[in-house]
Structure 1
Amino acid sequence: MKTQNLKQLFKATALALFISSSMPTFAAPTDQVIAVVGDRAILKSDLIQGMAEAAHQLQAQKKEVPPAQFLQRQILNQLIIQNAQLEQVKRYGLKIEEKTLNDAVLKVANQSGSSSLEAFQQKLDAMAPGTYEGLRNRISDDLLIQRLRQQQVMSRIKISDQDVENFLKSPEGQAAVGSQAHVIHVRISGENATELENTAKQIKAELNNSNDVKALEQKFSNDQVKVEGADMGFRPLSDIPAELSARVSTLNAGQTTDLIKAQDGIHILKLLERKGNEQKALVTQYETRHILIKPTEVVSPENAKQSIESIFNRLKAGGDFATLAATYSSDPGSARDGGSLGWVSPGMMVPEFDKVMQSIPTGEISQPFETQFGWHILQVQDVRKQDMTAEYQKRMARQILGERQFDSELDSWLRELRANTYVEIKDKSLDDTNNQAK
């Protein structure tokens, strides 16, 4: 088995092993530390367990299990990387919310045929006491490592406005946003290569002034050369073969491609017209202003609530919203503009704020409500439908470009993490462990 394939296998979460089989948990009677990673220890039983799980999964996939010495070094390296990441989790104080963890465990439970966490716990602990707790801890570690990677790796990814623009102009970008092209396609086929190319050059010249493919077929087809033309109409670039769509995406209306030589002849494409996806992203936006009272070291949550209620009563008595926002709001950015947040799209604010913003009638002042930032009063001054197609396309481009860079940045980050983490391998037979990060 190739090393890279084995690495890809080890990337998979160990959770699958619990739902695909009843793998035993190995615990050596006389366990020993085989490696130290920062303040964490890797036990011999950890290595044995990891090797058993990897071998089991390879066998289930009908793949060859590599030699034991090679496998143990790969597994040890994965355990070192995992523990190095968990050291970082501890350093940054990352936590997983109980609900998030329960949802993740329940998803595994459902996949294994259990409808509840209680039933799943009974099922696993019947195999061996403590199995459920062990699985839950492993899921928690998985989620924490995922969160760590998102924070650390995403901060390394840099995508400029020019990168986004270039991507949206590329064939891949055009296909991704649903751009459509009205194209004429001509194929010239025959046995004589020289005659074929000469005819193709003539047809390309004719296409500069004509879109009549039937006339071109009649004019240039003969015993040695067959000309077939078709008006393909408007179709998404994603529906055109990648090699051809790449040629079309660089054309301006009225231009033809160079001769495209293929096994079935020579192809020529002419772009008649281009248009974007007709489906617009129309979003309801709210012109919103708010007043925020935020608890601080000197303002208790109770005092913050009392303050916002006092301001609300003054507003109901005819107080000026902009003046009160400028005077009392804890949001300095909007306070300078009388509390104005400008035009706000759903999803831009925290859920509690979104819910009030989308439910309150235009012009009315909301009751005080609480979010993670403090106590708010808001007012929606106007509502509009806004075409956000361009913004959504740019956001999608950034997401695609970010995903494209993620793996390479993750690889670099893991290598740096491995190099900068204190690692001591106690078992001298494993001293030549492959130190590659992934």
Structure 2
Amino acid sequence: MKIKLSECLRPLVLGALFLGTAAHAAVKPLDKIVAIVDNDVIMQSQLDQRVHEVQQTIAKRGQGVPPTSVLDQQVLERLIVENLQLQLGERMGIRITDEELNDAVATIAQRNGMTIDQFRRALAHDGLSYEDAREQIRREMTISRVRQRRVAERIQVTDQEVQNFLKSDLGKMQMSEEFQLANILIPTPESANSEAIQNAYKQAVDVYNQLKKGADFGQMAIARSGSDTALEGGDMGWRKAAQLPPPFDSLLSKMPVGEITEPIRTPGGFIILKLNAKRGGQSVVVDEVHVRHILIKPSEIRTEAQTEALINKIHDRIEAGEDFATLAKTYSEDPGSALNGGDLNWVNPNSLVPEFRAAMSDTPQGVLSKPFKTQYGWHVLEVLGRRATDSTSQAREQQAMNALRNRKYDEELQSWLRQIRDEAYVEIKLPSANSDESASQAAQ
């Protein structure tokens, strides 16, 4: 199963998320090589361990577990692609430090409301060692960084693309709806002839007909899909319409929840989508505050005590009737606001440090705050106004930017994964896959 750190270790499925933990385990007696991958190998013990864990994951979801022969080929292909990325990471000099790994483990434990000791016990309960779990997290972090360097850094989205997207019919629809999807992909080779395409289409129609007769979508995805999400039952999570290739964007908007699409040709093959849920967009309203302040900083010639004494004196002078703006221009050491009389204009409180935000929240409009300290120094502030601002436009621009990047990333990632797989030397020694692999090599 593919590990995604953003989703890992859900409270009830701890063991399901650390797949491939035997990747570097000692070779057992009678162990054998099931695949040669460039400069590395995949052992039978690795494959067996991963298949076992996938079976456990599927069983925990309450789904029927496919035969081992079906899982062997799906899991081995996943291991091959992972192995290629790890080898590439090694050549690129990517290293995950122990400190980074410790932080990642602590974050996973915290997200599940656990201490590290509780996390260890939860892993042991699911038959996983803490050391193997750490190693799997390190592997996933390495793969993530490889993809970041080789795929994400190539993706650029311009302001003009964002504006064009927002003005398009698809963009307008995408801003209002989001879909939770699962998929089954019957792949076609890049250079497939008409016979291969027709054969893939027949397979897709067969899958579609079985689904319409009541077959479980997740089980069919595990058994038949060539998608990267096959072992997760085809689960794609939530997707905006802009992330989907036409004509799925318009089809899904009209489809009732629970329905599936007919097979549709895409560059990668024939795909069937299931709509599990929908949700719509909402207006984004942000509370803003118009505030001005005076900042005094400690320095080599001004001690902390002297700084506090000076801000207190300035506070008293304002309270006695002196002009705030004049004193700000004279004393404030915030270069961004001093010349404007300390005026920060309208600001989103969430963009400010906690101490400033708290003082601003506690100070009524038109009232001078008491002196307070932040990481920048000592302040006094005055709230000049409060308002609720509709920031839907800015939020939609950011959503559009993210959607376009995600769409480009998904396309680029799948293309890149196919490229490194095609360019690699891979010799599969799994008996059940020998005939398929030989046919594939002969076709190439």
Correspondence list, 1:264-279, <5 A: none
Q: Tell me if 1:120 matches 2:150.
A: no
Residue 372 to residue 322, structure 1, CA distance change in 2 (3 Å): same
CA distance in 2, matches of 1:321, 1:96: 50
Q: Tell me if 1:366 matches 2:372.
A: no
CA distance in 2, matches of 1:312, 1:152: 55
Retained in 2: the 8 A contact 1:283–1:388? yes
CA distance in 1, matches of 2:417, 2:304: 44
Retained in 2: the 8 A contact 1:89–1:148? no
Superposed CA offset, 1:151-187 (max 9, x none): 99776544333222211121222113349xxxxxxxx
Correspondence list, 1:232-271, <5 A: none
Q: Deviation at 1:141?
A: 6.8
Give the aligned residue type for 1:379.
E
Q: Deviation at 1:337?
A: 2.0
Give the aligned residue type for 1:19.
G
Higher Rg of the two aligned structures: 1
Match of 1:177 in 2: 175
Match of 1:102 in 2: 106
Retained in 1: the 8 A contact 2:355–2:373? yes
> Is there any run of 5+ residues in structure 2 with no aligned partner, and where?
29-38, 59-65, 178-240, 252-279, 428-444
Residue 329 to residue 84, structure 1, CA distance change in 2 (3 Å): farther
Q: Deviation at 1:116?
A: 5.4
**1:135 alignment partner, one of 133, 136, 139:** 133
Q: Deviation at 1:292?
A: 3.8
Match of 2:16 in 1: 20
Give the aligned residue type for 1:78.
Q
CA distance in 1, matches of 2:158, 2:387: 30
Retained in 1: the 8 A contact 2:293–2:379? yes
Q: Deviation at 1:84?
A: 6.1
Correspondence list, 1:136-151, <5 A: 136=134, 138-139=136-137, 142=140
> Is there any run of 5+ residues in structure 1 with no aligned partner, and where?
1-8, 31-42, 180-236, 248-276, 419-430
Residue 292 to residue 142, structure 1, CA distance change in 2 (3 Å): farther
Give the aligned residue type for 1:314.
I
Match of 1:214 in 2: none
Give aligned-pair identity as a percent.
30
CA distance in 1, matches of 2:281, 2:40: 61
Give the aligned residue type for 1:432.
Y
Retained in 1: the 8 A contact 2:367–2:382? yes
Q: Deviation at 1:288?
A: 1.6
Residue 364 to residue 136, structure 1, CA distance change in 2 (3 Å): farther
Residue 329 to residue 142, structure 1, CA distance change in 2 (3 Å): farther
Superposed CA offset, 1:281-304 (max 9, x none): 4433211223345678x589xx45
Q: Deviation at 1:383?
A: 1.5
Superposed CA offset, 1:371-416 (max 9, x none): 4555544322112233323223223222322322334566799999
**1:65 alignment partner, one of 69, 72, 94:** 72
Q: Tell me if 1:340 matches 2:343.
A: yes
Q: Tell me if 1:350 matches 2:332.
A: no
Give the aligned residue type for 1:79.
L
Match of 1:252 in 2: none
SS of 1:392's equivalent?
helix
Q: Deviation at 1:121?
A: 2.0
Superposed CA offset, 1:279-327 (max 9, x none): 754433211223345678x589xx4575255224312222544344444
Superposed CA offset, 1:324-343 (max 9, x none): 44445443222332222211
Give the aligned residue type for 2:391.
M
Match of 1:389 in 2: 392
Match of 1:54 in 2: 50
Give the aligned residue type for 2:334.
D
Match of 2:159 in 1: 161
CA distance in 2, matches of 1:414, 1:119: 37
CA distance in 2, matches of 1:433, 1:374: 61
SS of 1:333's equivalent?
coil
**2:292 alignment partner, one of 285, 289, 292:** 289
CA distance in 1, matches of 2:287, 2:384: 13
Give the aligned residue type for 1:120.
F
Match of 1:78 in 2: 85
Retained in 1: the 8 A contact 2:369–2:381? yes
SS of 2:51's equivalent?
helix
CA distance in 2, matches of 1:246, 1:69: 36
Give the aligned residue type for 1:344.
V
Residue 72 to residue 350, structure 1, CA distance change in 2 (3 Å): same
Q: Deviation at 1:369?
A: 4.0
Retained in 1: the 8 A contact 2:287–2:389? yes
Residue correspondences, number: 302
Give the aligned residue type for 1:54.
R
**Comparing 53-62 and 148-157, the one that deviates more:** 148-157
SS of 1:104's equivalent?
helix
Retained in 2: the 8 A contact 1:96–1:140? yes
CA distance in 1, matches of 2:416, 2:304: 43
Provide the aligned C-alpha RMSD in A. Answer: 5.4
Retained in 1: the 8 A contact 2:292–2:381? yes
Residue 68 to residue 364, structure 1, CA distance change in 2 (3 Å): closer
Retained in 1: the 8 A contact 2:296–2:311? no
CA distance in 1, matches of 2:144, 2:363: 38
SS of 1:65's equivalent?
helix
CA distance in 2, matches of 1:147, 1:405: 18
CA distance in 2, matches of 1:157, 1:339: 40
CA distance in 2, matches of 1:126, 1:101: 17
CA distance in 2, matches of 1:299, 1:144: 48
Retained in 2: the 8 A contact 1:308–1:376? no
Retained in 2: the 8 A contact 1:94–1:144? no
CA distance in 2, matches of 1:158, 1:47: 39
CA distance in 1, matches of 2:286, 2:79: 54
Retained in 1: the 8 A contact 2:294–2:328? yes
CA distance in 1, matches of 2:314, 2:324: 9
Correspondence list, 1:182-261, <5 A: none
